[in-house]
A and B are shown apart, each in its own frame.
Chain A
Amino acid sequence: MTFLDPVKLTLLGLLVVIAAAYLLRMPRRRLRVPDALVARLALADTSRINRQKRTLISLAIQVVILVLLTVAAALPYLGETREGNRSLIVLFDVSASMQADDAGLQVLSDREASGTSTRTRFTRGLDAVRGLVRDMRRGDRMMLMTVGRTVNVVLNFQGDRDVIMHALDGLVPTAEEANFADACRLAASMGRSGASPEIVLVTDGAVRPDDLAALARIETATLKIVNVGKSSDNLGITGFHVRRNLDSPTDYEALVSIVNASGEPREVEVELLLNGQVFDIASVEVPAGGEAVQVFREKLRVGGILEARLRVVDALAADNVAYEVLKPPARLRVLLVSDDTNASSFLVRAVGSNAGAVEGMVLTPEQYRDAIAANPSVLRDQRDAVIFDRWIPDSADELPPTHLLSIDCVPPGMPVVAGEPFDKPLIRKWETGHPLMSYLNLRNVFITSARRLDVSEPKKGEPPVERVAEMVTSPLVLAWERAMPNGGTGRRIRSRPQRFVVIAFNPRESDIVLRKELPLLLWNSFLWFRDGTEPPTQVAPGATIALDAGEDVDAEKVTVVTPAGDGETVPVDPETGVAFFGATSTAGVYRYRVGKTEDAFAVNPGGRFESDVRPAKDLALDAETLDADELAAVYPGGRELWPWLLFVAALVLTFEAIVFHRRIYF
């Protein structure tokens, strides 16, 4: 037994005071009787010796109480002595796989079947850390970090066990993927700067050994691992995406990716629900340790919350459900500004070729100019794309705040200068990987005349112009994007790009009008315009999402309702019209409101890596492995004896009060 505060033992000097108090005769009550002989007779058997015994017992009790209190004040500690104080850096895994309860895998026989263990890896990890806290002694400190998509320092070095316990009580598991690489780098830097800290890694072992490499290089710190995971089988949804068929906006394709983290192939039923109602189900065979994709093709005329669900009970229930936000079907609204408004014009025909997907509108330059002059914001939020055919306004103010496709002309404000036409250009190359060039083959395309384009340096903060296709001496097709202007407000919406496509020749002076490349180029342009311009419907857990206030210039805040039903408000940046929301650790559907507009986005668990809940076989670390259950069983109150000594002192005092002062038993 050692004393953490041995100076307090000097309080034993008070024994002198107690002894002196017993040596001094205390005044006693006096009772006058006719004959004291009767009193002597009554005390015949309990003679002076007993009185002396009582005095000695009382003195002994006082001495015992003082000794107990003094020793308790000196903070005795039972166990092996430890030199110096401990500095613990606890990296606590809060990733999705920590929600696994390591129960067996079984396919549900019916929908009502349920039953999961409540003791998850997360709970076991918490219990283990609580054991570590209980084992802390005076002077020991603990730093607590949670490892999810980001590393959060929950508690800086703290010695108060109650504070640490309170912080632990506030931890919740997330749907995030563990980013142990960053966590280990941070812990390593702390380990190098501290005085020989102990880095304790609390994880289920479902980590990439490479992520722990930073810890392996630390020489000044001791590394310990608390592995709370067991080898368990799991089926999980690792991807859930919905795409719309632009040819037919009511047709949707839902892709569900399922991983089988077990040693045997599994067959599982996948349900597809819209707004909570099942409307499709499929049985999927997933190979052992592999992945399978199930595609649901549906025709839906409404939007809503799409949900994919596995009918299975396995180690990790969180990844058996995934969500996606399905937008209502909408056609692409395209405006063609051309002096060639003949119905037989190839552009008019191209815009109107797919009436189900494109809502076309044709204006002559004069009509366009008149409309803009009458109301500059007439096209605001009315058209998804505008095609300028051989004519474009001279002023950027007359351009609509939308995507632009210019044919044989260059939009003002773009870092491109239109030059003189030249004859018979040769197409030298085109970027087949660019979205605009999908399925295009410009080989042997004959062009009679093309306009020379000189690309200049963009303004600071703006991206360069992409040369998607080039002639020998000049670009043929250019692509460019910048932040979308918020029409009339002088503000640009950074989260929504305004995209430009410039075609440097007149298709009428080419045989491209006779080939499939022209409609493909137009269609690819439309697809590119739409790609990434709509609000995101999914975000990775723990990631920050930019919620666009759009044209609602008066919006000051965005109210987000989490899957748990809690409402959170984030302010809108008045400069950009964007609100950033980062509390996306929980899987589920988040609904938000900007002004009068309501929308939603989904957060789905970590992905394939988190669904594979099997611990890594070799973490390639020279670390001591601690047993989670043993840590959790560390006796409450630690091994400090002072609470027990106080308890015994209280018992002795009670004994004295009852037995001595009340004189019941002796």
Chain B
Amino acid sequence: MTSDAAETVVTPDDLLTPGFMKKLERFRMCSRVIHPGASMGERVSRARGSGMEFADHKEYSPGDDFRMIDWNVYARLDEFVVKVFETEENLSVCVLLDVSASMDFGAGTTKWVTAARLAAALGYIALVNRDALTVFRFAETLSEPFEAARGRGHLRQMLRRLSTGTPAGQTDFVTSLRAAGMQLHRPGVCFVISDFCTADPSTSLGAGPSTSLGASRLAEALKGLVYYGHEIVALHVLDPLEADPGLEGELDVEDAETGELVPMTVKADTLRRYREAFEHRCRAVAAACAAYDAKYLRISTTDSLENTVLYRFRREGIVE
């Protein structure tokens, strides 16, 4: 449901403002583990290499570069010791943006707009830090990725990609996330920005409160990413109307993705039961994320984007 005043269409310029971008330039992505990068980047790798920063000495072994032998040490100790330097690599950052029909919902700013701005902010941080950024839009299937090489020169292209199109279709997490895991060349941080609504009634989200999270297909989808070594950050975009949709009287509830009609007679306890079911659903998503060591954040469409990125993400260790 979108209200008449809802912000549903964005342009590239709407996604990031210059002031906000300036603030974002001070941050970079955090990763619990250091993933081997494909190219030189701006973050220290576990591997020792030909960087500029001295890291340690090690005994010379055949095959080492003669240029790295520390002759001063040899003069004092009469042993061949090789200087080891830190290697700086880039981080693989992947943004998976849900563009299913359910994202087109919100009283003010829709979930789709909020998610697109989040993706733009994260992408910009990755670009300015010369991380390897990949952006996927997904619904039933995964779209063609946006793969930026490095550097802010790709910003415009990224924003155009993010603002293109409108939310439509159903969500298939398993197919989409598994395909994304397979397409990504190397592990990194993977942001899943979604409302985690799915039309598949067999998923954990629709199977009722008693269904265990381990059997859920969302968990199966996350598992596909984890399998390829990705570190997952789940950003759950919500609108206040979802928790309190203003149910009253006799009505048919229409699923935004499938068009399914659920006839309801709203009674005294129906609203209470609805809120309980919604909360259970959110907890189920959080539990599925926790099962695969994924970070989980609920983000409301009414939250300030700057506050979310600059403070909440920082507090949660997503950026630094």
Contact = CB atoms under 8 A, between A and B. Distances in A.
Interface of A: 28-46, 51, 54, 663-664, 666
A34 B250 contact: no
A40 B205 CA distance: 11
A41 B281 CA distance: 9
Interface stretch (B50-58, B113-121, B259-267): B259-267
A34 B252 CA distance: 13
Interface stretch (B23-31, B76-84, B241-249): B241-249
Contacts of A38: 242, 274, 277-278, 281
B284 to A, nearest CB: 11
A31 B247 contact: yes
3 A-B pairs with the lowest CB-CB distances in the bound complex, closest first: A41-B277, A36-B255, A34-B102
Query: Which label, helix, strand, loop or mixed, suits the secondary structure of the A interface?
Result: mixed
Nearest to B277: A41
Contacts of B264: 39, 42-43
B111 interface: yes
Contacts of B242: 33-35, 38
A45 B265 CA distance: 13
Contacts of B105: 32-34
A33 to B, nearest CB: 6
Contact of B249 (A29, A35, A37, A666): A29
A31 B245 contact: yes
Contacts of B252: 28-31
Nearest to B267: A663
A31 B205 CA distance: 20
Interface of B: 1, 102-103, 105, 111, 195, 197-198, 201, 205-206, 208-209, 239, 242, 245-247, 249-258, 260-268, 270, 273-274, 276-278, 280-281
A31 B254 CA distance: 6
A495 to B, nearest CB: 87
Contact of B1 (A29, A32, A51): A32
B3 to A, nearest CB: 11
B50 to A, nearest CB: 51
A39 B253 contact: yes
B268 A51 contact: no
Nearest to A35: B197
28 contacts: A31-B246, A32-B105, A32-B254, A32-B256, A33-B254, A33-B255, A33-B256, A34-B105, A34-B242, A35-B198, A35-B205, A36-B253, A36-B254, A38-B278, A38-B281, A39-B253, A39-B262, A39-B264, A41-B209, A43-B264, A43-B273, A44-B208, A44-B209, A44-B273, A46-B267, A46-B270, A663-B265, A663-B268
B251 A31 contact: yes
A29 B205 contact: no
A666 B267 CA distance: 7
Contact of B280 (A40, A41, A664, A666): A41
Nearest to B101: A34
B251 A29 contact: yes
Contacts of B102: 34-35
Contacts of B262: 36, 39-40, 43
Contacts of B273: 41-45
B267 to A, nearest CB: 5
Contacts of B268: 663-664
Contacts of A43: 262, 264, 270, 273
Contact of A51 (B206, B239, B253, B265): B265
A44 B211 CA distance: 13
A29 B1 CA distance: 14
B280 A51 contact: no
A33 B251 CA distance: 12
Given A28-B252, A36-B258, A37-B201, 8 more contacts: A33-B254, A33-B255, A35-B195, A35-B255, A40-B206, A42-B277, A44-B277, A664-B268
Given A34-B105, A37-B201, A42 B274 contact: yes
A34 B266 contact: no
Nearest to B281: A38
Given A35-B205, A36-B255, A41-B280, A54 B265 contact: yes
Contacts of A54: 265
A34 B274 contact: no
Contacts of A41: 208-209, 273-274, 277, 280-281
A40 to B, nearest CB: 6
B160 to A, nearest CB: 26
Which of the listed residues B254, B257, B258 has the most CB atoms from chain A within 10 Å of its own CB?
B254
Nearest to A48: B263
Contacts of B260: 36
B205 A28 contact: no
Nearest to B249: A29
Nearest to A54: B265
Given A31-B1, A32-B256, A664-B268, A37 B281 contact: yes
Contacts of B265: 46, 51, 54, 663
B253 A33 contact: yes
A51 B252 CA distance: 13
A38 B205 CA distance: 9
